[in-house]
Structure formats: C-alpha cells, structure tokens
Amino acid sequence: MTVSVDLMRARLRFLEERHSEFKRRTEANGGSLPRSDWWRFEYAANPYLLGCPDDRLAIRFHDVFTNQTELSREALIGILPVDDGNQFIRKFTHLLEEYALRGGLPNLNDIPKDNVDYFANGGPIAARIFANYVEPTLPFLVKYGSRQFLEPMLHEGKIRICPARVRTH
C-alpha cells in the first residue's frame, strides 16, 4: 500500500496550519504550552509519519500502545508514568495527531496479535514472582560489586568500601 503525493501534500497543508496555530498559542502564552500540546506542536513541525501507509501505521500504533503499558504491583494493567523519560507517550501523541489527519483510529482487530496467553497458568508470571514480596519499611543499603566482595558481606557481615576510581578492571 502506498500513499499518493497529492494526499501527502493535503496532509502537509493541514499540518502547516496546525503548526502556525500552535506557534500563535505559544507566543500568546509567553512561550508556554501544556506538555501534550508541545508534543503535538513537535509533530506538526516534523510529521515523520505523513507518508506511512495505513497498515504500517496501525502496527506502529499497536506497538507503541503495547510498549506504553505496564503491570502494576497490584497486577493491574496500566500505562507508564507520564514523565520526561517516557518517550512512548510522546510517540503515542504523535500517532494520535497523524490519525486526526486520517479521520480516526485503526481497527485494532486488523492488527496481528501476539500468540501469548499471559493468564494460561493462573496470573501473569510478573505478578506471581512478587506475590510474597514485602516492601521494606526501614531504609536499606543496595551495594553493587563483584561476587568475591559481596559474598563476605552476605555471609559474614563484612562490607568492603572502595572508591570507584581505584578499580582497575
């Protein structure tokens, strides 16, 4: 499936208008926009999905949406926190902007499914792994190092402290 040049030009004209609209709003608000609008503004300035065929865009939508989800401590499916390190929500916003140009969202039934049954043997394995975990109530130390130095700490209570700059390996 290909996207015609005329269709891409029409989409680009719309995005240029959208970019101008965001630019006016930014200037009117003293250079400030809500984070999701910055991401929309960013996509209008660089519409990298413009020529992507619908079938490939639907797969990308599915992949970004899937990567945006997580399994919480309560074994509930949710989305990752919206913070500066979360690039998936930004990409998801770009996809929503592209789908706004195309008049809707993909039919999720047309997207190939992974053949994984996460609940085949009870709950998801990630939930079972931490089923008996009790979060510490007091502060605790996390020490990284070589096994030869960590085992004496575990078995004998000996802690070896060595600045990283003296390590030679």
3-state per-residue secondary structure call for 24-42: HHHHHCCCCCCHHHHHHHH
* 35 occurs within a structural domain: yes
Tell me what pLDDT residue 28 has: 94
pLDDT class for 120, splitting at 50, 70, 90?
A: confident
Work out the number of other CB atoms within 10 angstroms of the CB of residue 87.
Answer: 12
Q: What's the CA gap between 154 and 149, in Å, rounded?
A: 9
Residue 44, Cβ density class (10 Å: 0-12 exposed, 13-18 middle, ≥19 buried):
buried
Q: What is the mean pLDDT of the chain?
A: 83
Ranking 9-13, 61-65, 104-108 by mean pLDDT, the lowest is: 104-108
Does the pLDDT value for residue 1 go beyond 90? Answer: no
Q: Is-contact 98 3, C-beta < 8 A?
A: no
Residue reference for tokens 């608000």: 29
* 102 occurs within a structural domain: yes
Question: What whole-number percentage of the chain has pLDDT above 90?
Answer: 24
Tell me what pLDDT residue 13 has: 92
pLDDT class for 167, splitting at 50, 70, 90?
A: low
* 11 occurs within a structural domain: yes
* 17 occurs within a structural domain: yes
Residues 11-50: tens digit of each pLDDT:
899 999 999 999 999 999 999 999 889 999 999 999 999 8
Q: Pick the more confident residue, 112 or 152.
A: 152
Average pLDDT over residues 138-150: 79
* 168 occurs within a structural domain: no
Number of domains in the chain: 1
Q: Which domain holds residue 115?
A: 5-129
Average pLDDT over residues 71-77: 77
Residues 108-118: tens digit of each pLDDT:
776 666 666 66
Q: What's the CA gap between 166 and 168, in Å, rounded?
A: 6
* 46 occurs within a structural domain: yes
E strands, the chain, in order: 69-71, 77-79
Does the pLDDT value for residue 147 go beyond 60? Answer: yes
Q: What's the CA gap between 61 and 91, in Å, rounded?
A: 9
Q: Which three-class secondary structure state does DSSP give residue 43?
A: helix
Both tokens of 145, joined, read: 């190092």
By C-alpha distance, which of 50, 14, 49, 18 is closest to 33? 18
Average pLDDT over residues 137-157: 82
Amino acid at 100: A
* 148 occurs within a structural domain: no
Ranking 3-7, 67-71, 158-162, 163-167 by mean pLDDT, the lowest is: 163-167
Both tokens of 36, joined, read: 């999701």
